[in-house]
Amino acid sequence: MSGFRLVLVAAVSLSCVAPAAAQPAAQTIDVWSFGFGPKPLHLAAGRPVTLTFVNRSGSSHDFTAHSFFAYARIIAGAAPGGEIELRGHDVRTITLVPRAGTYHAHCSHFMHKQLGMQDLIVVD
């Protein structure tokens, strides 16, 4: 009977340390007048990630990355037209599976890109 107990204890122990269903990684993208961070944004290809966009300014901005959002598989949230629109102090999230590549992002509001609101997304 002690052999049975040993097997039972081992099985219970393994079930306690077995990983739960994989949760998406999380990445916060800070938005302010006139920048994004982190710069560049690094993500893992083929792995779910929840991106949280936090507008630290009182002005509205967007995070436009047409190709990035077009090639990603979006699981939750949306990026209509390839952009995340943020009002002042707004927070938005999107969960997606990014595709390998290097993508450009910018704020499409008048002159914001020229004032420094651009970023690079590196997915490998």
Domains and CATH numbers, the chain: 22-123 (2.60.40.420)
Q: Look up the pTM and report it.
A: 0.81
Contacts of 56 (CB under 8 A, 6+ apart): 30, 31, 32, 89
Band (3; pLDDT cuts 50, 70, 90): low
Buried b (16+ CB within 10 A) or exposed e, 89-113: eeebebbbbbbeeebebbbbbeebb
Return the residue matching tokens 């993500």.
43
Band (17; pLDDT cuts 50, 70, 90): very low
Band (2; pLDDT cuts 50, 70, 90): low
pLDDT digits (tens, 9 = 90+) for 47-101: 999 999 999 999 999 999 999 999 999 999 999 999 999 999 999 999 999 999 9
Cβ proximity of 44 and 124 under 8 Å:
yes
**In the prediction, which pLDDT does 22 show?**
62
Dihedral pair phi/psi, residue 95, rounded to 5°: -110, 130
CA angle, residues 114, 120, 124, in degrees to nearest 5: 170
Q: What residue type is 114 in one-letter code?
A: Q
